[in-house]
Amino acid sequence: MPVNHSAPQPLTALSEEEQFFYSTVKKFAEEVIGPVVNKMDEEQHYAPGLVDKLFEMGLMGIEIPEEQGGAGGSFFDAILAVEAISTVEPGVGVLVDVQNTLCVNAIRRWGTPEQHKKWFPKIATNTVCSYALSEAGSGSDAFALESRYEATPTGFRINGRKLWISNALEANLFIVFATDDPAKGYRGISAFLVERTSPGFSVGHKEDKLGIRSSSTCELILDNCEIPHENLLGEAGKGYKIAIETLNEGRIGIGAQLLGLAEGAWAHAAAYAKERKQFGKAIAEFQAVQFTLAEMATEIEAARLMVYNAARLKDAGRSYVLEAAMCKYFVSQVAERVASQCVEIFGGNGFVRDYPAEKYFRDSKIGKIYEGTSNMQLATIARQVLGVK
């Protein structure tokens, strides 16, 4: 079924160069990712060669300087890429999101010049990176880590398990958080660059998920995992700072993913409403359907402005903690609501897998959960606007 992707479009607040970039990425998503969306959803992995094509497009190292193999773009460019891809397949959107907004940003800000020189050319051209913070007992309570590390004569030894780690199946580099003493709380946490080939490291169980099924979500096992001294990211005991600040950026990325999802669901719903006939005319001619689509479009525009504003603030070097939390909270609500309304516009066809509506709905649910639940975003917002701890 042809889909009208002409509206709603992210024309607001975009320069001609940004609009061209967005359109280029979206065309790539529609032509290269679109034909394999259902197959990837069913088989729960990316199509062969797709990750390589993302690297070839320069989408896996957007903020990495050109001299180190990257695209030399901005954080806002990364946000646009995640949004554009997610209109077609949010599961690929999260791959690009984690790579850019979490991993690249963490290494760019806290990595040493030597780490930049070693890793950025690889991350930009052929190495998927993953961000490993969550554990069985540390979800919203992010720093209740049980993974332990200890110093050795040659570096560090890490023991523990990580759960719900995105990009784990494809990644060859992992940013792993562990503590040297749980009694220290957040002060004991450090971040490490762990290679897939590190002794004692392995990828465990892959989750069978409700949505974004093409994206891998796995357990990581660190059993006396040995890494060298030079793989410490940032200062020892400052891992909490890396995690907090990077996740603030990541929440804008998730906002972009969910914005793209909502845009894709809207486009399919609008196209279907123009084709589906009842009582002798297209259902798009009925005021009730028109109002539903109008309301969806309005919420998407509001979500877009929140995502773009947060990303612009970040690039300008201004405070964006409040805006990132609001963005993540609001856009996750919009995405789920728009995807649900998309199912309803499709009617019975929205409930079967022959049509795209049900997949957008399944994919939308994770938005209120990962990279900080809605309740955690509300807690952050409340602290910011009320000035309380």
Rounded Cα–Cα distance for residues 75 and 245 (Å)? 14
**CA dist 277 to 280, 352, 358, 374, Å?**
6, 19, 20, 38
- The runs of H, that is alpha helices, within the chain are 16-28, 37-43, 50-56, 75-86, 90-97, 105-110, 113-125, 239-275, 287-315, 321-346, 357-364, 374-386
Separation of alpha carbons 93 and 380, rounded Å: 25
Q: Looking up tokens 């040297």, which residue turns up?
A: 180
Query: Which tokens belong to 377?
Result: 């975003």
DSSP lists the bridge partners of residue 201 as 222
By C-alpha distance, which of 144, 146, 48, 46 is closest to 99? 46
Please tell me the distance from the alpha carbon of residue 129 to that of residue 142, in angstroms, as a whole number. Answer: 20
Which single residue is written with the structure tokens 């990495």? 64
Measuring CA to CA, how many Å separate 365 from each of 29, 99, 312, 336, 359? 22, 21, 26, 6, 10
Q: Is the dihedral of CA 48, 208, 103, 155 positive or negative?
A: negative
CB 217 within 8 A of CB 166: yes
Tokens of 101: 């907004």
Q: Report yes or no: 282 and 274 within 8 Å, Cβ to Cβ.
A: yes
Give catalytic status of residue 371 as yes or no.
yes
203 with 143: CB under 8 angstroms? no
Residue with tokens 């030597």: 114
Look up residue 138 and give its DSSP letter.
B
3-state secondary structure of 260: helix
User: Residue 135 gets which letter from DSSP?
Assistant: B
Give the rounded distance of the alpha carbon of 289 from its chain centre: 31
Contacts with 281 (C-beta within 8 Å, 6 or more apart), sequence order: none
Longest dimension (CA), the chain: 79
The whole-angstrom separation of Cα 316 and Cα 327 is 17
Catalytic residues: 371
